[in-house]
Amino acid sequence: MIVVNFPLRYTTKSSVKAVFLLGCFIFLFNTVNSQNMDDFIEYDSFVIIEKPQKTYKGFYKDGKPYNGYFSKGNDEFPRVDYYENGETKFQYSLDIYQMTLGMESSEIDGFQEEEGEAMNEEDYNEYIKNKYKPKLNIKSVYQNGKITDGYEYMELDSGIISKKIEKEKTTALHIDAFAMHYYQRTSLVLVSDTLIIGSPTIAAAGESIEIRLFNDNQTWITNYHIEGEKIGANYYKEGEIKSLPADCTLFTYDQNNVTYNFGRGGFKKYSGKLDLIDIQKMYFEKPEIFANKNMQSFFDEFIKAFTVEIQKEDRQRLQEPEIFRGYIITGEKGEIIKGIRFFEKETDSYYEEYKNGKKIKKEKIDLINFQKTFKEYLESTRND
């Protein structure tokens, strides 16, 4: 057996070097890890109902949220995203309507006061602090960075828009508007093939207001209800109307080379509170939305247009139609009682005038010259 004796001095130096290198490696590893994972933020200004804690931590990696809880929004209306390995998994939020009315849950496991139990000053201060924290009781689910079940939110200068999503489809929209000593919620809820518009805040004050928007045989109809009674309706139709709505005032006009019809009927009584959503303005400015036959597609397009409109600082007045084609008033069975109407033919286009349920005039005219006749007719009816 051959024995090789290394000098003790050499062995000692090698050991010191090895220990030194190992120490440097551990230090660098911990430093990098600290830079990547030990930076965190801690919150104590809200409580998540599903996971009640005194504080919530969120850890960063490379300066980006990586694990834990990260708050967004403001202190009055926080939304909290929960991350796992850099991916958003859940969002926690609260219902603004319930919060405003003070209806959100005030008892949370681990924070409630036991009946008859005396608290010292420190416990009492902690109890009061937690009692009035925003309580996040809505859980939304993320998939690939998008909420597929739950709520999406948009903050406005004077309110918040909440979009409810179920199985990747939008089923409701809530508009919460705030002003000095004022709060109102307007809700748009898609139920089957009908969009129901109402206000729970108005209902809570003792008045029932409801608007129902639906498509019937390619005509969009908006029915207005007060206390369950239908008090009137609006009609929106692209192209020629073959069956006229009953008890209605109907305008026919052209915009961007497309013919549209807008009708309004009933309304022997009215309430300004029915103007929850200006559907009429949406129809005049974005009529292409109403070309959708599928109610879900219509609702999606309606929401996009509405959210753009509500954020405009300078809201312009509606422009006058480019071309007028008719103005008529119908009776209980849809018969023409009064008005003027243009009929376009390949040759010999003409217009008809009606009064007291009878046709009193028929003359040949082209569409351009009809514009003068139409405006003169409207002026004469105003003076009647």
Task: Encode pLDDT of 192-243 as tens digits.
Answer: 999 999 999 999 888 899 999 999 988 999 999 999 999 999 999 999 888 8
Greatest Cα pair distance in the chain: 132
Residue linked to tokens 């109402």: 198
- Tell me if 247 is assigned to some domain: no
Residues 361-378: pLDDT tens digits? 999 999 999 999 999 999
74 vs 257, higher pLDDT: 257
Position 46 in a domain: yes
* Structural domain for 81, as ranges: 36-104+123-165
Q: How many percent of the chain have pLDDT more than 70? A: 83
Least confident of 177-186, 204-213, 266-275: 266-275
Per-residue pLDDT of 325-338, as tens digits, reads: 999 999 999 999 99
How many domains does one find in the chain?
1
139 lies in some domain:
yes
Residue 314: predicted pLDDT? 63
**pLDDT for the residue 117:** 62
Q: Do the Cβ atoms of 61 and 86 come closer than 8 Å?
A: yes
H or E element: which one contains 141?
Answer: strand 138-143
Report CA 128 to chain centroid distance, whole Å.
Answer: 34
**pLDDT of the residue at 311:** 79
What whole-number distance in Å separates Cα of residue 47 and Cα of residue 45? 7
Residue 57 covered by a domain: yes
- Report yes or no on 95 lying in a domain: yes
Q: 262 and 326 in contact (C-beta within 8 Å)?
A: no
Q: Is 305 a member of any domain? A: no
3-class DSSP assignment, residue 312: coil
Amino acid at 115: E
87 found inside a domain: yes
Burial-class residue 303 by CB neighbours within 10 Å (0-12, 13-18, 19+): middle
In a domain, 1, yes or no: no
